Copies of this chain bind each other. A is one copy, B any other.
Amino acid sequence: MRGRITGIKTYADPVLVGDLMQGGTVGEVVESNHPKFFVGDFVVGMWGWQEYTVSDGKGVQKLNPHLAPVSTALGVLGMPGMTAFFGFLEICHPKSGETVVVSGAAGAVGSLVGQIAKIKGCRVVGIAGGDDKVDFIVNELGFDGGFNYKTTDNYIAKLKELCPNGIDCYFDNVGGAITDAVFPLLNLYARVSVCGQISQYNLAKPEPGPRLLTYILVKQARVEGFIVIRWMDRWSEGIVQMAQWLREGHIKYREDIVHGFENIPAAFIAMLNGKNTGKMLIQA
C-alpha cells in the first residue's frame, strides 16, 4: 500500500490521487443475483478502501464464520499468514536448534513467523518498537527473547547477548539500522528473508548504511526478497497448515481493530509508525 501511493511502479501498480486505494477486505453480501453467494454470506476479496462494491464473483472467497472469525481471512488465515508461512519456511528453511531473529516481531507477519519458528524447534528472538510489544511476543507468544529497539542503544551487543550461538535465520520486515546490526552476527550459510523494509518506505532514495555484502560473502549467506503472491498456487496448503496450528493452540494472533471508515488513513499511518500490535484492521 505504501509503495502504491509513491506513484511509482514497484511490484504493485501505483495508486494515483483520486484512484481507489487497494487492499484486502472482508465483507458481507447485502444483495445478490449470483447463484453461489447469498445475502448474509461473509466473503473476502481485494476491494480496497470502500464501504460497498459490486462483484461478479470472480476472486471472491466465501468464509465459514463457524470455523474461525471472519477477520482472520485478513490476518493469520490470509495474506499476512501466508506471508509468514511461505516467506519464512520457503526462504529460511529453519532447522531445529537454529537461532531465528525477526524484526517487526509484534506485527501481523512477524508475530506469526516467530511462532512458526518455535514450532520448528528454533530459538527465536524478536525485535519490536515498544516494551508492551516485547512483553507480548515473549510472554504471550513464547519467543525466547526480544528487545525494544527504541530504548536499546547498542543493537549488536543486545543481539549478541540474546543470540549466543549467532544467527542462522533472519526474517526482516524493517531494514535500516536494525538489519545493519543483524548481518555481522550471521552464521555460516545463514538465510535472510526480506519481507519488508518499513524503515525505508518514506525515503525518496535509499539512505546510506554500512555495506553488507562482505558479510554475505564471508558467511556464505543467502538473502532473498519475496512477494507472497509468488506462492499463490500453494495458498490452500498454507491455509490448511495454519488453520491446524491455530486449532491446536500452537499459533496465537492479535488484531488491532480501528472502528470507522473515516479513520482508515490515520490507522494506516499509525501502522507505518509502528503503533499497532498484530494485524491492523478497520471495521467500517
Q: Which residues of A contact B (CB under 8 A)?
A: 3, 10-11, 172, 175-176, 179, 194-197, 200, 205-214, 216-227, 230
Contacts and interface: CB of A to CB of B under 8 A. Distances in A.
Given A223-B222, A226-B220, A210 B213 contact: no
A212 B179 CA distance: 11
Nearest to A207: B211
Cβ-closest 10 pairs across A and B = A217-B225, A206-B210, A216-B225, A208-B208, A222-B224, A223-B223, A209-B211, A194-B217, A206-B211, A197-B214
Q: By CB atoms of chain B within 10 A, which of A196, A207, A211, A226 has the most?
A: A211
A210 B212 contact: no
10 contacts: A10-B218, A197-B217, A200-B213, A200-B214, A205-B210, A208-B211, A209-B209, A212-B212, A222-B224, A223-B223
A3 B217 CA distance: 12
Contacts of A210: 205-209
Contacts of A220: 11, 224-227, 230
A217 to B, nearest CB: 4
A94 B144 CA distance: 41
B213 A175 contact: yes
A213 B200 CA distance: 10
B211 A221 contact: no
A206 B208 CA distance: 12
Given A176-B211, A207-B211, A211-B175, A224 B218 contact: no
Contacts of A224: 216, 220-223
B213 A221 contact: no
A190 to B, nearest CB: 10
Given A200-B213, A206-B212, A219-B225, 10 more contacts: A10-B218, A11-B220, A172-B213, A176-B211, A200-B211, A206-B210, A208-B208, A216-B224, A217-B226, A220-B226
